[in-house]
A and B are shown apart, each in its own frame.
Chain A
Amino acid sequence: MCNSVNKAGQLLVDLAAATSMAIATGRVVGDDGHLSFTGNYGNKKSRPDHVLLSPALYKLVCSFKMWDTCTSDHAALSTEFRVNAVGGESASTKHHVCRIGQCVNNLVLRWPHEKAHMYARHISENMELLAQFDEAERAGGVDKLAFCVRSLLVQAASSRAVGMSAQARCVLSVNAVERVH
């Protein structure tokens, strides 16, 4: 295990704290904080590689593995997620029961009409996504086309300049606020 701390490490911890994400290093099943960097001659030992996860994804991790690679002085980090299983629920799942500190907020989109122009402009200027849309159209990928359209809408609504998205709060946090008032 690597016990050293550097400036980047402090800043990564700050970033995780400020965004409510967890650094998986030393926490998830199979990760004991192993060293991932050994240097070309095996004389440098540290853990500079990390995976940060938001709460819903943290709950879905089912295994972690570190692979030795002969082509690099870094090991490969592998994180496996459990899908379609218990733990994948969110606040809007049918039989969901809210638990304090464990519920994930949901993204909701609102339509303030005065921002329609900004919204349309963001879509027309999202060249990267429009290029992927064209590529999907050429390939005839219906799923990808649908995903591109949805992403165009969500990305435009979520951009800072447009601001049409918000996070729907968990039932428990709403109750807590109501009690305070």
Chain B
Amino acid sequence: MVKLHDITVLAETRTSDASRLLQHLPGFTVHNIQLDRGNEGKNRHGIAVLVASSCSDYVLVLKTSENVQCIWMQCDKKMFALEEDVNVGAAYINPQSRKLFPVCAIQTHFTDLFEDTLGALQVSPNVVLCGDFNAHVGELSEVSDAHTGIVLRFLRLGDMCATV
């Protein structure tokens, strides 16, 4: 399946060993985040981007995020026949859990991801951000349902003021 694609993102690879990731994929290039030795083989760790040999000259690493598991690639505009390059972000966000990854940790990771995305948009207006966000969006819309948390907080504040 990977061989049918120019760029493949693998989330939760559990390894940063390039030779393992490139098994059976001759000619492919891998760009991945370096895992701490203690995190090798563990769930919820590792992200890698595989690039086909036909595209490897046109794909560079733009940035490896420091605070969130995300790697950003810069693809030459020739690949997409666009006027500007295309930045591809590959991300993994841990699922919410009370002990290991509470809501505040999710908020922090999304804030970091947001900053990285803004940085990528500074380099080029063409951005793809993909991966396993452990995000259930249901039927939410970016237009009508954006920033609902803030809106609801203000509404609640308004209710409190009215009560006082």
Residues of A within 8 A of B (CB): 2-19, 21-23, 25-26, 46-54, 56-57, 60, 67, 69, 74, 76-79, 81, 83-84, 88, 90-93, 104-107, 128-129, 132, 136, 141, 143-144, 147-148, 151, 154-155, 158-160, 165, 167
Q: A12 contacts B1, CB within 8 Å?
A: no
Determine the residue in chain A with the shortest Cβ distance to B145.
A13
Q: B82 contacts A12, CB within 8 Å?
A: no
The CA-CA distance from A90 to B126 in the complex, in Å, is 11
- One of B124, B131, B134, B141 near A13 (C-beta < 8 A): B141
Q: A22 contacts B142, CB within 8 Å?
A: yes
**Main SS class of interface, A:** mixed
Q: B114 contacts A46, CB within 8 Å?
A: no
Q: B81 contacts A88, CB within 8 Å?
A: yes
Interface residues on B, range: 35 or more
- One of B1, B58, B127, B147 near A54 (C-beta < 8 A): B127
Q: A9 contacts B57, CB within 8 Å?
A: no
A-B pairs under 8 A by CB, number:
199
**Main SS class of interface, B:** mixed
Query: Which residues of the other chain, A, contact B96 by a CB distance below 8 angstroms?
Result: 6-8
Determine the residue in chain B with the shortest Cβ distance to A139.
B57
Residues of B within 8 A of A (CB): 1, 4-5, 11, 56-58, 60-64, 74, 76, 79-86, 93, 95-96, 103, 106-107, 110, 113-114, 117-119, 121-143, 145-149
